[in-house]
């Protein structure tokens, strides 16, 4: 399905032409009908000879209502520009065409209207030539110009034929499972509740779906859908849609809101953009100038931060970071228009390149500009990698939302990015830019190197401590260690692979004395405080890390071989008798009750045993 925008000057007969084509009067407001002037957006639809239904958005032509016009042209596939043969090109005609050019609306059809009011064929030809020059100035030399009369019907069949040809050559609207409906109208139907309308892009909507309205994050549910006055169960991208929303009142919704699925789009107060200034603007755009941003059906005041220059002159292009006064639901690839708020004037427009930069850039930074250039001009693989260059790995679904790629385009881009070494595929169906992945591994190695130098008698750093220092997730940390030969996971520790605990001669002697003390009383060893006194805390800690000692409580540690003998015997006793108690453990090893209880409580914590009253039985990890 397709949507066509009809634009032109207020006196050029747009609404009459739409009515002649569709039988529908797009001017729905009483004031519009009394003044014979389109003030707000009007809507109609048309059955093409091919059987396809297309929507028409009739936008205001008067300069006082140009901002209403901007709310309706964001989602159109093509434009029908209406120019009256008896009056020719007017200032608003030029502005409308400039806006279409900025929004990259390349498919334009010109209706030279009211030919029934002109008796002189040479005048009509003169107007046609003037229109051709205007179109050529906007690189639209091939746009058809069709003389028509809404009053007599002359030329309407040819207009429909040209429109059919334009639509037949348009690609299908992409479906990347991220439906977006910029709300351009809100009303309430008695007995049904709030209804919103808009042009659907990005994905389908179905009755019963939960939806979210950004920027305020309100949640509702689709009670009903209509497309061109027909009830439908599913609305497809590229169609005009009316959505009856349950769970929200009309007062909670306003034009400019964006209807989508919950969690798919986040509103932003900061956006990176490529901007082009119109060539006929009198004043340059200066750094931090106050502007008004129009995108979709939404608008807000903003400050335009110039990133690569101090001012943009007429016709010049540059990088902006838009600091929005109010949050807007923007996505990469959105087209926008900038206007000066006072006096009101359209100054240019461009493309949102990064809707969530996450930080305010310093100006005139080559690396920032290079990254933005890649996001704009890079290959699909490079753009995929740029989208994956974030603080942590990104799900493919989130990258798809960011890029706006179809499923096939996303698969091709991810495969190529992986082949070129731009990204790495990680667990959980995530991708991360190779540069970010390598940086994390380097940071781990650097952190461990510092740790080993400071504490050479520690086997390594505890995983939790390292994770905290790096401010990353344990699962990601583990993947990085597993992928890097320089790193080794050793129990609860992570260390550099070539790191080993090496005792000095004095420390080795103390360790030997400690082992002898344990051998003299294997099941009633000295407590940890006494071991520290005997060999020093660093040596004791090293032996614990190396698992030569096993601490079963804060105060008690056994030699590793003695500990294993006790655990093995306890397992065997439970296997043969079904249970064991502290008295039995004490008698088996000639230990005191203190040591027996400490060992059993330790095994309880490991799940080897399970306490039931005064006895222990097999635990889940027996």
pLDDT at 9 over 70: no
Residues 162 and 186 in one domain: no
pLDDT value for 462? 93
- 156 and 21 within one domain: yes
Instruction: Say what the pLDDT of residue 16 is.
Output: 84
Whether residue 450 is contained in a domain is answered as: yes
pLDDT tens digit sequence for 50-70: 778 887 777 765 454 466 667
What's the Rg (C-alpha) of the chain? 36
Q: In terms of domains, do 162 and 242 share one? A: no
Residue 48 sits at the vertex; the CA angle it makes with 56 and 22, to the nearest 5 degrees, is 50
- Give the residue from 119, 141, 168 where a domain finishes: 168
Task: Reduce the DSSP state of residue 206 to 3 states and report it.
Answer: strand
Q: Which of 121-135, 282-296, 386-400, 413-427 has the lowest mean pLDDT?
A: 386-400
Q: Quote the Cα angle for 316-402-169, to 5°.
A: 70
User: Do 450 and 553 lie in a common domain?
Assistant: no
pLDDT at 315: 92
- Joined tokens for residue 349: 């427009």
pLDDT tens track for 413-425 = 999 999 999 999 9
Which pLDDT value is given to residue 2?
63
Give the model's confidence band at 8: pLDDT under 50 very low, under 70 low, under 90 confident, else very high.
low
**Cβ-Cβ contacts under 8 Å for 263 (sequence gap 6 or more):** 212
Residues 580 and 515 reside in one and the same domain: yes
Please tell me whether the peptide bond between 343 and the residue prior to it is cis, using omega within 30 degrees of 0. Answer: yes
Same domain flag for 495 and 511 = no
Whether residue 541 is found in the same domain as residue 429? no
Give alpha helix (H) positions in 305-377. Answer: 366-377
CA 196 to CA 226: how far, in whole Å? Answer: 10
Do the Cβ atoms of 256 and 292 come closer than 8 Å?
Answer: no
Model pLDDT for residues 203-214, shown as the tens digit of each residue:
999 999 999 999
Question: Residue 175 falls within a domain, yes or no?
Answer: no
Examine residue 176 and state whether it is found in any structural domain, yes or no: no
**Which CATH number characterizes residue 6's domain?**
3.40.50.300
Give me the pLDDT at residue 223, please: 95
Distance (Å, rounded) from C-alpha 330 to C-alpha 268?
7
Q: pLDDT of 559-600, one tens digit each?
A: 999 999 999 999 999 999 999 999 999 999 998 999 999 999
Question: Any idea what DSSP says for residue 116?
Answer: G
pLDDT, position 194: 93
The band of 29, judged by pLDDT with boundaries at 50, 70 and 90, is very low
Contact 205, 234 (CB under 8 A): yes
Separation of alpha carbons 134 and 132, rounded Å: 5
- Within a domain: 465: yes
- The CATH number of the domain holding residue 359 is 2.40.30.10
Q: How far is CA 92 from the centre of its chain?
A: 36
Asked if the structure places residue 222 within a domain, the reply is: yes
Q: Quick check: is 174 in a domain?
A: no
Give the range among 69-73, 214-218, 377-381 with minimum mean pLDDT: 69-73
Query: In which region does residue 560 sit, left (phi positive, over 0), alpha (psi from -120 to 50) or beta (all else)?
Result: alpha
254: closest CA among 298, 292, 291? Answer: 298
What per-residue string of b and e applies to 458-467 under the rule 16 or more CB within 10 Å gives b? bbbbebeebb
pLDDT at residue 19, as a whole number: 84
> Is residue 464 domain-shared with residue 447, that is, in the same domain?
yes
Taking each helix axis as running N to C, give the angle between helix 380-387 and helix 396-403, from 0 to 180 degrees, rounded to the nearest 10. Answer: 120
The enclosing domain of 555 has a CATH number of 1.10.10.10
Domain, as residue range, for 451: 378-500
Tell me the pLDDT of the chain averaged across its residues.
88
Residues 243-258 have a mean pLDDT of: 93
Q: What is the DSSP string of 228-259?
A: TTEEESEE-TTSEEEEEEES--GGG--TT-EE
Q: Are residues 400 and 531 in the same domain?
A: no
Same domain, residue pair 6 and 155: yes
From 500, 533, 568, the end of a domain falls on 500
39 and 150 part of one domain: yes
What are the DSSP E strand ranges found in 38-120? 42-47, 53-58, 78-84, 108-113
13 and 137 share one domain: yes
Model pTM above 0.75:
no
Number of structural domains the chain divides into: 5
CB of 267 within 8 A of CB of 329? yes
Which domain-ending residue is among 260, 276, 306? 260
Helix (H, G, I), strand (E, B) or coil at 326: strand
Q: Is residue 456 part of a domain?
A: yes
Report residue 84: phi and psi, to 5°.
-75, 130
Q: What is the pLDDT of residue 62?
A: 47
Residue 373 domain-assigned (yes or no): no
């Amino acid at each position: 399905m397709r949507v066509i925008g009809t634009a032109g000057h207020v006196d050029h007969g747009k609404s009459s032409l739409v009515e002649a084509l569709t039988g529908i009067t797009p001017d729905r407001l009483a004031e519009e009908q009394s003044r014979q002037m389109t003030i707000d957006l009007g809507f109609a639809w048309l059955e093409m000879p091919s059987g396809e239904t297309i929507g028409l958005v009739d936008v205001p032509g008067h300069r006082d209502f140009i901002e209403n016009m901007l709310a309706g042209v964001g989602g159109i596939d093509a434009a029908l520009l209406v120019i009256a043969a008896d009056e020719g090109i007017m200032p608003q005609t030029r502005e409308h065409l400039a806006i279409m050019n900025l929004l990259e609306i390349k498919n334009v059809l010109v209706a030279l209207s009211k030919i029934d009011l002109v008796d002189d064929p040479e005048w009509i030809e003169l107007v046609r030539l003037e229109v051709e020059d205007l179109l050529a100035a906007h690189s639209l030399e091939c746009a058809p110009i069709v003389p028509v009369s809404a009053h007599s019907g002359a030329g309407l069949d040819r207009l429909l034929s040209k429109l059919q040809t334009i639509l037949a050559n348009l690609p299908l609207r992409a479906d990347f499972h991220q439906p977006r409906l910029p709300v351009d109208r809100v009303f309430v139907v008695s007995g049904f509740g709030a209804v919103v309308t808009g042009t659907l892009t990005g994905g389908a909507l179905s009755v019963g779906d939960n939806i979210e309205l950004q920027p305020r994050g309100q949640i509702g549910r689709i009670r009903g859908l209509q497309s061109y006055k027909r009830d439908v169960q599913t609305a497809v991208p590229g169609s005009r849609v009316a959505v009856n929303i349950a769970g929200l009142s009309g007062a909670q919704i306003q034009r400019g809101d964006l209807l989508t699925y919950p969690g798919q789009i986040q509103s932003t107060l900061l956006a990176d953009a490529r901007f082009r200034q119109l060539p006929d603007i009198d004043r340059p755009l200066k750094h931090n100038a106050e502007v008004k941003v129009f995108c979709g059906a939404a608008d807000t005041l903003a400050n335009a931060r110039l990133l690569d220059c101090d001012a943009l002159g007429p016709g010049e292009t540059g990088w902006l970071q838009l600091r929005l006064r109010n949050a807007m639901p923007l996505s990469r690839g959105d087209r926008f228009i900038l206007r000066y708020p006072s006096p009101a004037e359209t100054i240019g427009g461009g493309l949102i390149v990064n809707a969530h930069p996450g930080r305010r850039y310093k100006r005139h930074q080559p690396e920032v500009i290079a990254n933005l250039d890649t996001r704009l001009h890079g290959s699909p693989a490079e753009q995929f990698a740029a989208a994956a260059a974030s603080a942590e790995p990104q799900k493919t679904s989130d990258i798809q939302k960011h890029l706006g790629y179809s499923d096939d385009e996303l698969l091709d881009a991810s495969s190529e990015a992986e082949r070129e070494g731009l990204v790495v595929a990680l667990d959980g169906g995530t991708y991360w830019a190779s540069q970010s992945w390598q940086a994390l591994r380097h940071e781990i190695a650097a952190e461990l190197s510092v740790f080993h130098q400071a504490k050479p008698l520690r086997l390594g750093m505890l995983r939790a401590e390292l994770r905290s220092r790096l401010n990353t997730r344990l699962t990601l940390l583990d993947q990085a260690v597993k992928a890097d030969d320089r790193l080794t996971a050793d129990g609860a520790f992570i260390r550099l692979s070539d790191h080993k605990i090496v005792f000095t001669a004095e420390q080795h002697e103390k360790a030997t004395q400690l082992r002898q003390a344990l051998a003299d009383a294997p099941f009633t060893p000295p407590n940890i405080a006494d071991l520290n006194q005997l060999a020093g805390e660093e040596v004791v800690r090293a032996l614990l890390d190396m698992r030569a000692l096993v601490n079963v409580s804060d105060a008690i540690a056994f030699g590793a071989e003695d500990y294993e003998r006790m655990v093995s015997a306890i397992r065997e006793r439970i296997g043969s008798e079904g249970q064991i108690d502290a008295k039995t453990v004490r008698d088996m090893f000639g230990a005191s009750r203190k040591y027996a209880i400490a060992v059993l409580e330790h095994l309880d914590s490991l799940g080897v045993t399970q306490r039931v009253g005064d006895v222990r039985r097999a635990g889940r990890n027996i």
